[in-house]
């Protein structure tokens, strides 16, 4: 980003960590530990990029975009918990 803008600032790249976490989680890596795949992460990054680009084309403000991205991450984590919890429902715990 600094090379495109021909200047530097410590705030360039803020919130990119959220996009990275979202891409990894949407790609199938569990936040509670486990292994992910590079293909899954690429697919997750593609999905996040498509969602973000669609919101940009629809002129959604950046605050709402972060809310939608957070909802996508929460949904991916919820689906991961359902998938992981489905195997151990009969266990006492």
Residue 62 within a domain: yes
In a domain, 5, yes or no: no
Instruction: Tell me if 11 is assigned to some domain.
Output: no
Cβ-Cβ contacts under 8 Å for 2 (sequence gap 6 or more): 8, 9, 12
Tell me, what's the pLDDT at 89?
53
Domain range for 79 is 38-84
pLDDT at 64 (0 to 100):
92
d(CA 61, CA 80): 29
Q: Is residue 80 situated within a structural domain?
A: yes
Residue 92, pLDDT score: 47
Number of residues that this document lists for the chain = 93
Q: What are the average pLDDT values for consecutive 10-residue runs of the chain, which has 93 residues?
A: 77 80 86 82 92 93 90 87 67 46
Residue 72 lies in a domain: yes
Q: How many domains does the chain have?
A: 1
């Amino acid at each position: 980003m600094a090379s495109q803008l021909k200047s530097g600032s410590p705030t360039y790249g803020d919130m990119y960590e959220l996009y990275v976490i979202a891409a990894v989680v949407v790609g199938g890596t569990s936040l509670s530990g486990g292994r992910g795949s590079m293909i899954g992460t690429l697919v997750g990054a593609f999905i996040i990029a498509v969602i973000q680009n669609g919101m940009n084309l629809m002129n959604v403000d950046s605050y709402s975009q972060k809310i939608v991205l957070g909802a996508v991450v929460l949904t991916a984590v919820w689906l991961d918990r359902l998938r992981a919890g489905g195997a151990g429902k009969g266990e006492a715990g």
